[in-house]
Amino acid sequence: MRTVALRRAVRRARYVAFALGLLLSVASPAFADPACPETPPMPAIELPHLRSALSHGMQGVIVALGSSSTQGSMASDPAHSYPAVLQHLLESALTQDHVVVLNRGIGGQDAAEELARLDTDVIALRPQAVIWQVGANGTLRKSDPALFRSLVTGGVQRLQAAGIDVVLMDNQQSPRLLAVSGEPLIDQALADVAADTGATLFSRRMLMRAWQHEGAPLTDFIAVDGLHHNDHGYQCVAQALARSVLAAVVPHQPVTASR
Which residues partner with 61 through β-bridges? 100
Q: State residue 251's pLDDT score.
A: 55
The DSSP-derived string for the chain is -HHHHHHHHHHHHHHHHHHHHHGGG---GGG--SPPPPPPP-PPPP-HHHHHHHHTTPPEEEEEEESHHHHTTTSSSGGGSHHHHHHHHHHHH-TTS-EEEEEEE-TT--HHHHHHTHHHHTGGG--SEEEEE--HHHHHTT--HHHHHHHHHHHHHHHHHTT-EEEEE-----HHHHTSTTHHHHHHHHHHHHHHH--EEE-HHHHHHHHHHTT--GGGGB-TTSSSB-HHHHHHHHHHHHHHHHHHTS--S------
Q: State residue 258's pLDDT score.
A: 41
Q: State residue 23's pLDDT score.
A: 47
Q: State residue 91's pLDDT score.
A: 93
pLDDT tens by residue, 225-256:
999 999 999 999 999 999 999 999 965 433 33
- In whole numbers, what is the pLDDT of the chain averaged over residues? 88
Q: State residue 96's pLDDT score.
A: 86
The CATH-assigned architecture of domain 2-26+45-248 is 3-Layer(aba) Sandwich (3.40)
Share of residues in the chain with pLDDT > 70 (%): 83
Span 126-139, average pLDDT:
98
pLDDT tens by residue, 48-74:
999 999 999 999 999 999 999 999 999
pLDDT at 4 over 90: no
Q: State residue 108's pLDDT score.
A: 97
The span from the CA of 166 to the CA of 248, in Å, is 13
Q: State residue 6's pLDDT score.
A: 44
Confidence of residue 35 (pLDDT cuts 50, 70, 90): confident
Contact status, residue 70 vs residue 104, Cβ threshold 8 Å: yes
Span 175-203, average pLDDT:
96
